Amino acid sequence: MASSPVGVPSPQPSRANGNINLGPSANPNARPTDFDFLKVIGKGNYGKVLLAKRKSDGAFYAVKVLQKKSILKNKEQNHIMAERNVLLKNVRHPFLVGLRYSFQTPEKLYFVLDYVNGGELFFHLQRERRFLEPRARFYTAEVASAIGYLHSLNIIYRDLKPENILLDCQGHVVLTDFGLCKECVEPEETTSTFCGTPEYLAPEVLRKEPYDRAVDWWCLGAVLYEMLHGLPPFFNTDVAQMYENILHQPLQIPGGRTVAACDLLQGLLHKDQRQRLGSKEDFLDIKNHMFFSPINWDDLYHKRLTPPFNPNVEGPADLKHFDPEFTQEAVSKSIGCTPDTVASQFWGFKCIPWIFLCTG
């Protein structure tokens, strides 16, 4: 499994009378008691993701529940709000997870997300070791489409890895977890925060140089390499040595790959971000590469292409593609409790109805 993200931003919260105050929440209508929380399906640094069934209509959702105390202790509230902001902008893309709405209690934040149960790409890759080129091409194309869309919104994703790529029940890609996204980066602008996951960090990030959206194309190359060869391109169990490899080791591509695949990997994993594939025309550079010549991009976007793998899930209750480490964990009763008072600590974190998302 890939390492945890490193070097996340450390925002400075506002303070009043010695207490952290992030502003009021305007809409207390949505509550935890709206849902039956059925299973734990994921865990993170600040909370859990649960399969939940909404009582009013029986619809299933993945509800991300975050502990405010942990977020505030680690000064990551801006980080969480950035994830929510990105989710609000991404509801129209077929390969990005959708946020239905969000709400809070005095202790917790709740993201009500599309439920996706085809499993993490990481899960399938661990089981099968590596994919054949046609399957790797399909996933890479759908991920590239999602990344290109984020870039069109001036968002750099910054944490692309197999754990953040889900498959839906049909086998299409769903990109999730926007906690390390950087918003409002114009095409010619750069940012400099040291963040990402060690195995997938681009050389310019390691050198602590200003970087642009080409950092995401490096990560795409690393994920493609892993799909084809079973490990990230410069992997070493010694993180310091792995960083040294990323910075200085020539890219080694094992035999048995097509010329197109090798050329794409060389282009995406170019150590000079100015020469990297995607540095000139961004997503257009990727679309036009010969590796993707079998792909009709319009059909891909509209999901008219048949996925190379069908997860064969039998409905929302089918959890076979989730790690039993999560699903066998008992669901805490406090997850579904609504306190008597709904105090607010997170500025702007309020209930966002789905109808608003579609029209805003």
Annotated binding site for ATP, which residues? 73
Compute the half-sphere exposure of residue 330: CA atoms within 13 Å on the CB side of its CA. Answer: 3
Strand spans (E) along the chain: 15-16, 19-20, 35-43, 47-54, 60-67, 99-104, 108-113, 165-167, 173-175
Beta-carbon contacts of 141 under 8 Å, excluding residues fewer than 6 positions away, are 292, 295, 297, 300
Instruction: Compute the C-alpha angle 239/241/244, nearest 5°.
Output: 115
Active site (annotated) includes residue 159:
yes
DSSP helix/strand/coil, 54? strand
As to burial, measured by CB atoms within 10 angstroms (0-12 exposed, 13-18 middle, 19+ buried), residue 280 is exposed
Catalytic residue among 36, 57, 114, 159: 159
| Angstrom distance (rounded) from CA 195 to CA 200 | 10
| Angstrom distance (rounded) from CA 201 to CA 245 | 11
CB-based contact 113:37 (threshold 8 Å): no
| Count of beta carbons in the 10 Å neighbourhood of residue 312 | 11
| Angstrom distance (rounded) from CA 97 to CA 114 | 6
Nearest to 180 by CA among 152, 200, 207: 200
Residues with active-site annotation: 159
